[in-house]
Structure 1
């Protein structure tokens, strides 16, 4: 019985040793895992032109609120809402009846004052000649000259009253102060208006037109330089993006940089003028101003798809010695089409993984391959050797 047990143990041990031997041999035959096929990119420096976006509002370069300078009832409206108007064109009329009456009355007062002055002048001349002949008392001459001076003053006062009445009569007709477009009327025929308070309408120019943006105070030197640079207009540095995504590519130029920075926001207002013959820009629209920003020095550029975000940090896989890929934390700058600027973490000449990055693990050996292979596709079969 004991002999059979010992024999079984010997056989089992031999089988176990044989099995271990085979496992070690298989492991030696398999070797390390195969290299991961990827597409790589060598980091280099390039001249970078990015696009900065600023929220903007379209404003009229010239805009005037129409308010009556005399009171009364509106008796005529000469234009339609939204109509194009010319400078000096009649727009509204306030009841002219009392202003015309006041003008005629003032005109008559001038005539009376002048007639009285002419009479007193003749009297003064007559008494002056008589005084030269000692035919009248000197005191009487003084009275005549005083009457003449008073008559001259009355003429001047009457003429001033006539000028005021003429102004009121003229102001009863409201004309356009500029060439542009009139808005929707705020009053109707028969409405009573008060001088200086009632808003009748608004007239504004629309060609050219302007876009206002708020710029951080740190960018003031840049915009001051662009304001003085005539090539900024020729190179279309500034374009306008409308709400539907279309781009208004007029030749915009900086016309005004505000006098002071807003201390609450740390920004300054910049106004740009655009030709607007097409009328696509309308005052009050909210738009995005797109400003090209060419970097003064070359910067590091990498494909954006090579970047991996983990826990709020951005990484790329850098291929080092022995073709091993190791993650490296980087800081990103501005996007440039399909690429992105790297502000720190890489240097020129570094080799990074671009495609196939999802298959790479830290420390894994990688093998540069075509984009198709990096995406998991099988390469075409090689032609048989002859």
Structure 2
């Protein structure tokens, strides 16, 4: 207990010494930092000069794809579906058998028609014999010519019966052939709602399937009234048909954002606007030799437009404030100033700018999140071509 009291007494006696040492250290620290204190050096940031270049921009319109012919496959005779030779989505060729309808009733109809033809031919032969027999008798005045005329009339009737029987035979053959339902063109089989054993017929509302002929594919898209007015003003020609002819080849952007390798051509514009949504329809046609496109696909039509000179500003060099696009422009004193831009469109990863900058102006390319108006930087000027290539990737 006595030892603890002595320790406390010793600490109390040395408190002034501890305070003096702490104050000396603090003063020394402040004294050593104050003489060398000053503003930090300006940060080094990449800077590019804005350039004016010819640019191709694209107007995009949502499109739905259809084969150049979607053919409904319907039965031409009534009967039970005996066999289905194709599967949904299969590629088929013209003349290939798709379905088989029970042919037995139609085969018997053909046999009956052939028998009736034989009977009619026999009657015709009999009538011909009667005419041949009566002709010399009439010439020799043995019998009256009334009998000969009656015989000739019977012959003509028999001849007509033969022709009718022949037609029935041909009709029976046609119906028998209809039991084999074949593809009228090359294409792809759609959905098949019927199964083997289903009763099908000519009056049914639903087709056996729909065959899409896809050697060429139509992409249907619509323009708003404003877009249509711009289209009429932009392209040469006195009529809409003439203006369509002056349209460049268009691209098809697929659902996976890949560009279809072959370009298409706009061929048709609908004659009037749709009253419900205020749009007018167009159609572009694309070759589809490899069968990559199918009816029912969706995508976007991209119509190119070439602008002779546009200021290109990389989007990553911009920031948005209150729905406006800004860049940090560099002044002669290497200070940055937030500058609003008037953006007229986009091309890849670039903004097309009409106001706010001019060709040759320098802007900060990267690191803009660390800046504010009036901050001085140390510019690291980058070649414009390298920036264009990098931003385009």
Q: Same fold (TM over 0.5)?
A: yes
* d(CA) in 2 for partners of 1:191, 1:328: 73
Q: Which residue of 1 aligns with 2:265?
A: 254
**What SS class does the counterpart of residue 109 from structure 1 fall into?**
helix
Among candidates 339, 345, 352, match of residue 341 of structure 1? 352
Q: Which residue of 2 aligns with 1:56?
A: 63
**What SS class does the counterpart of residue 301 from structure 1 fall into?**
strand
* d(CA) in 2 for partners of 1:141, 1:315: 110
| TM-fit CA distance, 1:47 | 0.5
Among candidates 184, 203, 206, match of residue 211 of structure 2? 203
* d(CA) in 1 for partners of 2:292, 2:91: 16
Residues 43, 347 of structure 1: 8 Å contact kept: yes
**What SS class does the counterpart of residue 68 from structure 2 fall into?**
coil
Residues 49, 292 of structure 1: 8 Å contact kept: no
Among candidates 303, 310, 315, match of residue 304 of structure 1? 315
* d(CA) in 1 for partners of 2:67, 2:203: 22
Among candidates 271, 277, 282, match of residue 269 of structure 1? 282
| TM-fit CA distance, 1:71 | 0.9
Q: Which residue of 2 aligns with 1:27?
A: none
| TM-fit CA distance, 1:62 | 3.5
| TM-fit CA distance, 1:126 | 4.2
Q: Which residue of 1 aligns with 2:299?
A: 287
Distance change >3 Å, CA 316–CA 37, structure 1 → 2: same
- The answer to whether 1:116 aligns with 2:123 is yes
Q: Which residue of 2 aligns with 1:149?
A: 156
Distance change >3 Å, CA 273–CA 227, structure 1 → 2: farther
* d(CA) in 2 for partners of 1:39, 1:172: 77
Q: Which residue of 2 aligns with 1:25?
A: none
Deviations 1:173-221 (A, max 9, x none): 2122223333453222222112242532333345x35252414234477
Range 170-179 or range 259-268, more displaced = 259-268
Give the TM-score taking structure 1 as reference length: 0.70
Where do 1:124-163 residues align within 5 Å?
124-163=131-170
- The answer to whether 1:313 aligns with 2:321 is no
Residues 256, 272 of structure 1: 8 Å contact kept: yes
Unpaired runs of 5+ residues, structure 1, are 1-29, 373-386
Q: How many residues align?
A: 332
Unpaired runs of 5+ residues, structure 2, are 1-37, 383-393
Residues 242, 248 of structure 1: 8 Å contact kept: no
| TM-fit CA distance, 1:48 | 0.4
- The answer to whether 1:97 aligns with 2:104 is yes
* d(CA) in 1 for partners of 2:58, 2:125: 79
Q: Which residue of 1 aligns with 2:11?
A: none
* d(CA) in 1 for partners of 2:328, 2:191: 62
Deviations 1:255-275 (A, max 9, x none): 743543542342323233243
Range 127-136 or range 158-167, more displaced = 127-136
